[in-house]
Structure 1
Amino acid sequence: MHSPAFDKLRQQVATLKQQAEQFDKAKLFSKNRYMQAQPSLFDRAVFSTKSMNLADYVAEIEDEVSSLPPSEHRHAYTYALERIATQVQAVFNVIKSTPIWIKENKSHYKPRPKQAVYKQAVQQVIQSSHELYDELKQNHEFERRLLLMIEERKMQMDKATPAKAQKLNLEILTTHARLGRCRKAISATEEKIQRVEKQQLR
């Protein structure tokens, strides 16, 4: 079952596909020698596709959307979402930067508002999530430190006197309690991220 955010993303890419197909039908590059000499419309860092047709690049975006990692994989999911946003923006830039195409769309289609809606929707997800990702990162770092503290004290117990061992054992128990609270905070932050990503694009 797809999230509302995913469904919204698919809807926006479908809109982009229609606009790209209209652009390709206009054959605006056919009389431009410079453009005809180009092997590709976009930098390889943005698209792996090599073509002079926008629809081919939208097909690559569709593949990226279809292969999005699960939202549970926070960093991979955010990276993929940002890449798709960059790709969509690149295609929109070609469409909107062509005077003939802009003039044509004033009476028929209106790509700029749709672009603004898409960009805002993606940015909301990314921006709202970034603070939570930072919080999650800090909590994981705290968890790592607590685990190290526990391991260090366990190692110290091997050579400790009974009195010292009792003190170390108490410190281990106290650290375990802190670790439990830390892990609860991690779970709470992960739940917040899920809610944000599900709700922002509704």
Structure 2
Amino acid sequence: MDLQGTLRHQLLQLQQQAEKIDRQQRPGKPQNWFDSTVFSCRSPHLTDYVSEALRNLAHLADARLSPAAKQRLVQRLSEQTAALTQAFRHVDVRKKSTSKSRKVATVVQQLSAGSQQLYQQLSDTQEFERRLQDMISLNGRDNSAEAIQRGLALHARLGRCRKALFDIEQQIQDLERRN
């Protein structure tokens, strides 16, 4: 599966999660989920934002786009996927709706890893995040098709890295609460 296919698959998974979250929302005043510089739509529904990111991904395949336009679109798509990932993380934290298997895995990890190991893991992951950001900024100077593909791959890795950072921080907080 190519990088665009992988990103499309991830966005479709986010869309399924967004549909579940949208169904659970309480009626009331609609809220805008994201900053207007990241998404052009304004909606109380997360699915609308995921759909916009999917449209941008589909537009990336348009052969008529110049390399500069593709680079801008990749950057926007990167910002959108980062914002979506962050929003889903916060929804999960607010609802505290983690699955049983994830809770079990977290407990096992906390029992097997001491506080010092978690802080070291956090430090290592933060360093990896910084290196990825440096690679992304260096890659952004090149407008070739290969650079765009590399950019998509780097942004996907950055998203996974940030998720890992969040998970490590949660483990540290849980461990400190118990002590």
Taking structure 1 as the reference length, the TM-score comes to: 0.48
Which aligned runs of 4 or more in structure 1 are off by greater than 6 angstroms? 197-201
Corresponding residue number in structure 2 for 1:57: 49
Alignment of 1:45 onto 2:37: yes
Instruction: Map Cα deviations across residues 33-77 of structure 1 (whole Å, 9 max, x no partner).
Output: 6xx254x22222111111111011111111111111549843322
5+ unaligned residues in a row in structure 2: which ranges?
104-127, 157-179
Unmatched segments (≥5 aa) in structure 1: 111-119, 138-189
Give the distance between the partners of 1:47 and 1:79, measured in 2 at CA. Answer: 14
CA RMSD, 1 decimal: 4.0
Report the CA distance between 1:8 and its aligned residue.
1.4
User: Contact 1:5–1:199 (CA<8 Å) still a contact in 2?
Assistant: yes
Q: Amino acid of the residue matched to residue 15 of structure 2?
A: K
Question: Contact 2:139 / 2:150 at 8 angstroms: preserved in 1?
Answer: no
Quote how far apart the aligned CAs of 1:25 are.
2.1
Residues 106/100 of structure 1: CA separation in 2 closer, same or farther (3 Å cut): farther
**Residues in 1 aligned to 2:139 and 2:15: alpha-carbon distance in whole angstroms:** 33
Residue 66 in structure 1 maps to residue 70 in structure 2: no
Instruction: Report the count of equivalent residues.
Output: 128
**Corresponding position of 2:161:** none
TM-score, normalised by the number of residues in structure 2:
0.53
Q: How does 1:34-183 map to 2 (within 5 A)?
A: 36=29, 38=31, 40-68=32-60, 69-70=62-63, 73-98=66-91, 99-101=93-95, 103-107=96-100, 128=135, 130-131=137-138, 134=141
Secondary structure in 2 aligned to 1:44? coil
Say if 1:127 and 1:26 are closer, same or farther in 2 by CA, change over 3 A.
same
Partner SS state of residue 43, structure 2:
coil
| Cα gap change, 1:83 to 1:58, in 2 (>3 Å) | same
For residue 192 of structure 1, report the CA deviation from its aligned partner: 6.2
Q: Which AA in structure 1 matches 2:55?
A: D
Aligned to 1:21: 19
Q: Residues 92-131 of structure 1: CA distance to partner in whole angstroms, max 9, x if unpaired?
A: 2222113343x21333789xxxxxxxxx9xx96x865754
Change (3 A) 1:74 1:131: farther
Structure 1's 89 and 24: CA in aligned 2 closer, same or farther, altered over 3 A?
A: same
Larger radius of gyration: 1
Return closer, same or farther for 1:198/1:41 CA change in 2, 3 Å cut-off: closer
Q: CA 1:16/1:109 → structure 2, altered by over 3 Å: closer, same or farther? A: farther
Cα distance in 1 between the residues matched to 2:39 and 2:149: 31
